[in-house]
A and B are shown apart, each in its own frame.
Chain A
Amino acid sequence: MTQPIVETKGVEVRFPLPTHFLSKEKPVLHALNTVNVSVMPGESFCVVGESGCGKTTLGRAILGLNSPSAGEIMFRGQRIDQMDEAERKPIRRDMQMVFQNPYASLNPRRNVFETLAEPVRHLMPELSADEVRTRVEEVLAETGCDPSWQRRLPHEFSGGQRQRIAIARALVTNPAFVVADEPISALDVSIQAQILNLLTELQKERGLTYLFITHDLSVVEHFGTRVAVMYLGQVMELAAAETIFAEPKHPYTQLLLDAIPKLEGGSFDKPRQPGELPDPVNLPKGCPFAARCGMVQDRCRQERPQLRPLSNGTEVACHFAE
């Protein structure tokens, strides 16, 4: 069996919240609870869920931008979560990130060349100034950016062009693994397809592995290899992309699929009751989804289900899914 490129074992991330000076309570926000995922080389591993489910925290934890309070994160079999900055530096060039909003992720005072050259200079100090320049030019060409953009500033570009620059910045150190956090949701509809196509092409050419974070299941269907559906910091269902659309097993996955507006219509015809994520500070004892689940039973409120494999290869955290 091939070795996963990235693997998380029982990863937990907690954020301490501000305490009242008279209160003895120390409230803690549980952003990730025992997350076990493994990403295989060359795949597009998608993480979906509503805002606040921990999908971005997972991506950031893998890159070392949030430090986990428990668990292990492995990159090519090597444990990386406890590394200090000096130890991590040689790995950073192999793991990069594309952020959601290209209006916020590019430094407005830095021209495109400087934006792209900085990670190369920092992470690949062995390269000469000429090599840096060629590398920047190559990556710009590869991501569909015009070479004349190099001396221009971010405000001169449209959203789609900025996202191309952000992708170029992530790829300039030639990484093997890229976390793409909602890379198309800030873009206009006609531009989204352009960026998705670019990501697919780059993956083919460079053999990239993506951790693709999104809330849009129709993108997953087109783009994803495997999917982790997250809810309240926990993975609820883990399946191949084809399987999850054909046979969703977890009631929450079902809810997400039903909520997608469809061109054929029919998704909004029945009224729905308001449903919300429970408070991530005071986690419910049982299944986190129990309060919204239509099939809830007593056991769900008492005992938290763990991921378990089903016969079709899907893993699901539900007591009753079959």
Chain B
Amino acid sequence: MALLEVNDLHVAFPRGKRDEVEALRGVSLTLEKGERLGVVGESGAGKSMLAFAILNLIAEPGRVSQGTVKFEGENLLDLPERKIRDIRGNRISMIFQDPMVTLNPVLSIGTQMMETLRAHRKISDKDARALCIAKLKEVAIPSAESRLDAYPHELSGGLRQRVVIAIALLTDPEIIIADEPTTALDVTIQAEIMALILKLCREKDVALILITHDLGVVAEVTEKLMIMYAGKCVETGPTRQIIDTPKHPYASGLLKALPQHAGRGTKLYQIPGSMPPITNLPKGCTYHPRCDFATERCHGGEPDLVNGVACYNPLTSDAKTETKTEAET
């Protein structure tokens, strides 16, 4: 049995009195112990919605309209709030994008860490303090003892995100969901933070769901990859395989559009147009208006995810090299 099994998850928001729009339109995934999964997509693709839905954190008026989220076989969406609290923040932790917003500015680092700990464990003040210091050391925060009494504004962005990671690790979770954990940070700090997350996941055999828009980051960190577009997964599989031989035209387009793939001064491959808003999805495959390979069939119905790709005309590895040379000339 997989550690986490998400099946056909739908999230809907009301539009007007009777109508609803779907932000997530049937997403499934499985995560084994210690496995690292990357979720990639543009803003509005539903990546964060997926993370929130897994933890049953979709705020009113939104709702999970369909699907199951099984953690060790138990459906989190059926659990009463009291029970899910034993899992959320304890066995499944989250790291959010902006550490300045995640941390409470008027509480010291120590208070915030101990608050998390007390919510999930019966522990004495002295032991709690010692554990907090140990966790701060684990994330390589210099002079950890004195940092406990510091406030978030006294720390730099990189250190703040390290504190957030330390808090996420306090309860020794089995899964960490990291939603764009380094987007607000500089490249050098991003490298530090991602190297740290990678090391901790490997050492402690923690599973990771890494949500990002950066294909370079997922290539570095994850083993499995899921590419999302307009609320659906369009391609999923081993990270290496998708990066080397993408099958979905969108995945292939994203990779080809990276500046490192084009020669100096040459024209970059560009995906025309932009992602449609969820309130106004095109008929048929949602990607067909931007797709180079769209056929009559793509206008009709939406393709299901078959063999890891949701496309009627998936690219074979030959086709990829063909289009590549085309872009080069």
Q: Judge whether B156 is part of the interface by a CB distance below 8 angstroms.
A: yes
Give the residue of A160, A197, A221, A274 whose beta carbon is less than 8 angstroms from that of B158.
A274
Q: How far is it, in angstroms, between the C-alpha of A77 and the C-alpha of B207 when the chains are bound? A: 60
Identify the interface centre among B43, B141, B156, B274: most chain A CB within 10 Å of its CB: B274
Give the residue of B188, B194, B221 whose beta carbon is less than 8 angstroms from that of A275.
B188
Q: Judge whether A193 is part of the interface by a CB distance below 8 angstroms.
A: yes
Pair B259/A221 contact, Cβ less than 8 Å = yes
Give the residue of B140, B187, B194, B254 whose beta carbon is less than 8 angstroms from that of A256.
B187
Pair B258/A218 contact, Cβ less than 8 Å = yes
Interface residues of B in 48-84 (CB under 8 A from A): none
Q: Judge whether B196 is part of the interface by a CB distance below 8 angstroms.
A: yes
Q: Mark B189-212, 1 if CB is under 8 A from A, else 0.
A: 111101110110000000000000
* 18 new A-B contacts at CB < 8 Å, known A222-B264, A255-B188, A271-B196: A158-B274, A189-B215, A193-B258, A197-B267, A216-B187, A218-B258, A218-B260, A222-B268, A259-B188, A259-B191, A261-B217, A266-B220, A268-B220, A268-B221, A269-B198, A271-B140, A274-B141, A274-B142
Q: Judge whether B301 is part of the interface by a CB distance below 8 angstroms.
A: no
11 A-B residue pairings within 8 Å (CB atoms) = A188-B275, A189-B213, A190-B257, A193-B270, A196-B259, A222-B259, A259-B188, A262-B216, A266-B220, A268-B198, A269-B195
Binding site for B on A (CB under 8 A): 50-51, 158-161, 188-194, 196-197, 200, 215-219, 221-223, 241-242, 255-256, 258-276
Contacts of B199 in A (CB 8 A): 271
Pair A215/B219 contact, Cβ less than 8 Å = no
Q: Judge whether B35 is part of the interface by a CB distance below 8 angstroms.
A: no
Pair B264/A242 contact, Cβ less than 8 Å = yes
Identify the interface centre among A219, A222, A275: most chain B CB within 10 Å of its CB: A222
Contacts of A242 in B (CB 8 A): 264
Contacts of A197 in B (CB 8 A): 267-268, 270
Q: How far is it, in angstroms, between the C-alpha of A193 and the C-alpha of B220 when the chains are bound? A: 22
CB B220 to nearest CB in A, in angstroms, measures 5
Pair A200/B220 contact, Cβ less than 8 Å = no
Identify the interface centre among B199, B216, B217: most chain A CB within 10 Å of its CB: B216
Contacts of A192 in B (CB 8 A): 257
Give the residue of A193, A261, A273 whose beta carbon is less than 8 angstroms from that of B216.
A261
Pair A50/B264 contact, Cβ less than 8 Å = no
CB B159 to nearest CB in A, in angstroms, measures 6
CB A21 to nearest CB in B, in angstroms, measures 22
Pair B264/A190 contact, Cβ less than 8 Å = no
Give the residue of A215, A223, A255 whose beta carbon is less than 8 angstroms from that of B259.
A223
Closest to B187 in A: A259
Q: Judge whether B32 is part of the interface by a CB distance below 8 angstroms.
A: no
Q: How far is it, in angstroms, between the C-alpha of A261 and the C-alpha of B219 when the chains are bound? A: 8
Q: How far is it, in angstroms, between the C-alpha of A33 and the C-alpha of B65 when the chains are bound? A: 58
Known A-B contacts A218-B259, A261-B219; the reply to A268 vs B271 at CB < 8 A is no
Q: Main SS of the interface on chain B?
A: helix
Pair A50/B259 contact, Cβ less than 8 Å = no
Identify the interface centre among A159, A215, A265: most chain B CB within 10 Å of its CB: A265
Contacts of B243 in A (CB 8 A): 263
Pair A261/B220 contact, Cβ less than 8 Å = yes
Known A-B contacts A190-B274, A262-B220, A263-B243; the reply to A215 vs B257 at CB < 8 A is no
Pair B195/A270 contact, Cβ less than 8 Å = yes
Closest to B239 in A: A265
Q: How far is it, in angstroms, between the C-alpha of A274 and the C-alpha of B143 when the chains are bound? A: 12
Q: Judge whether B253 is part of the interface by a CB distance below 8 angstroms.
A: yes
Identify the interface centre among A193, A242, A260, A276: most chain B CB within 10 Å of its CB: A193
Q: How far is it, in angstroms, between the C-alpha of A266 and the C-alpha of B219 when the chains are bound? A: 9
Give the residue of A158, A262, A274 whose beta carbon is less than 8 angstroms from that of B219.
A262
Contacts of B131 in A (CB 8 A): none
Q: How far is it, in angstroms, between the C-alpha of A270 and the C-alpha of B140 when the chains are bound? A: 13
Closest to B259 in A: A222
Q: Mark B245-281, 1 if CB is under 8 A from A, else 0.
A: 0000000011101111010110111111011000000
Pair B219/A273 contact, Cβ less than 8 Å = no
Pair B219/A189 contact, Cβ less than 8 Å = no
Q: Judge whether B135 is part of the interface by a CB distance below 8 angstroms.
A: no
Contacts of B274 in A (CB 8 A): 158-161, 188, 190-191
Give the residue of B158, B194, B262, B275 whose beta carbon is less than 8 angstroms from that of A276.
B158
Pair A193/B257 contact, Cβ less than 8 Å = yes
Pair A193/B219 contact, Cβ less than 8 Å = no
Identify the interface centre among A161, A190, A197, A200: most chain B CB within 10 Å of its CB: A190
Closest to A192 in B: B257
Q: How far is it, in angstroms, between the C-alpha of A258 and the C-alpha of B216 when the chains are bound? A: 13
Q: How far is it, in angstroms, between the C-alpha of A268 and the C-alpha of B190 when the chains are bound? A: 9
Contacts of B188 in A (CB 8 A): 50, 255-256, 259, 275
